[in-house]
Amino acid sequence: MSRMPTELEVLEVVGKSEQGIQEPFKCIASDGHLYFTKGRQTDRASLCNEWICAHLAQALGLPLPPFSILNVSQELVDELPGGWKSIGEGPAFGSRQHAGCTWLDLAQVQHIPQTLQAEIFAFDWWIQNIDRTDGNPNLLWDTNQSALVMIDHNLAFDRSLDPVLFIENHIFRQSWQHADLVTRNLLQDRFCSVIETAFDYACENIPQSWHWNNPECDIPSNVDLNAIRTTLVRCQSPDFWRFA
């Protein structure tokens, strides 16, 4: 049995993010860092997607900010202005602020190594995430280090994903055309290697309340871990890279 990760406490909610459809809150946690935080203002499945994908990306060494489960107390919620109470009480998903970042501009793509572009394209194909396009890349650019930072995987595991649209619209589609067979096979092997470690760990440590749609825990959420596993084990198929 894996050890439950240590939760951080939200000490202060300082505002809403100016970006993001799910309107994450900016919160100061007990470790002193600022986190972009998604709680009850989003649905349970989105939180599970973020949690699982963060563990997978971390295990693969992809450029993701540190993340954590953040506990929001009822006492804190009671003190918040009306428009901020939607964060809700209980465990939330927090992605630590990465200082010095701006939203990625298409002109900056040329500065990103082709190998990293191909890795992110392949990762998104693996997790069935179509939410990384030219107009909405969900990528940050660290201007100090000229480095890429990945965020937002709440729309992953989309069973209605259209492979043709995916390969046409992904921001790193050009790099994938130059990825040779050896590169693709190595990526496929890496994906398969973390299913029994990072994925299982993430599933075992999902907050119990995320499996329910209400505080009374008598209305199940639409979290389907078996369906997510089915999506991920596609990497074991020789047809994994078939986009049509």
What average pLDDT score do residues 80-101 get? 94
SS3 133: strand
One-letter amino acid of 104: L
With bands split at pLDDT 50, 70 and 90, how would you rate the model's confidence at 20? low
Q: What is the mean pLDDT of residues 30-51?
A: 96
pLDDT > 70 fraction of the chain, expressed in percent and rounded = 96
**DSSP per-residue letters across 73-120:** -HHHHHHS-GGGGGG-SEEEEEEE--TTEEEPPGGGGGGS-HHHHHHH
Query: Mapping DSSP to helix (H, G, I), strand (E, B) and coil, where does residue 134 land?
Result: coil
pLDDT tens digits along 189-240: 999 999 999 999 999 999 999 999 887 888 899 899 999 999 999 999 999 9
At residue 2 the predicted structure's pLDDT band, cuts being 50, 70 and 90, is: very low
Q: Is the pLDDT of residue 133 over 80?
A: yes
Question: Is pLDDT above 70 for 4?
Answer: no
By residue count, the chain amounts to: 244
The two structure tokens encoding residue 137:
């890349």
**Averaged pLDDT for residues 121-150:** 94
Average pLDDT over residues 37-59: 96
The answer to whether the beta carbons of residues 88 and 74 sit under 8 Å apart is: no
Stretch 132-145: mean pLDDT: 93
- Report the pLDDT averaged over residues 169-176: 95
Residue 126 predicted with pLDDT over 90: yes
Q: Is the per-residue pLDDT at 22 higher than 70? A: no
pLDDT value at 1 more than 50: no
Report the C-alpha gap between 34 and 71 in whole angstroms: 14
Mean pLDDT within 98-106 = 91
Which of these ranges, 31-40, 81-90, 117-126, 210-219, has the smallest mean pLDDT? 210-219
pLDDT score for 115: 95
* pLDDT recorded at residue 3: 45
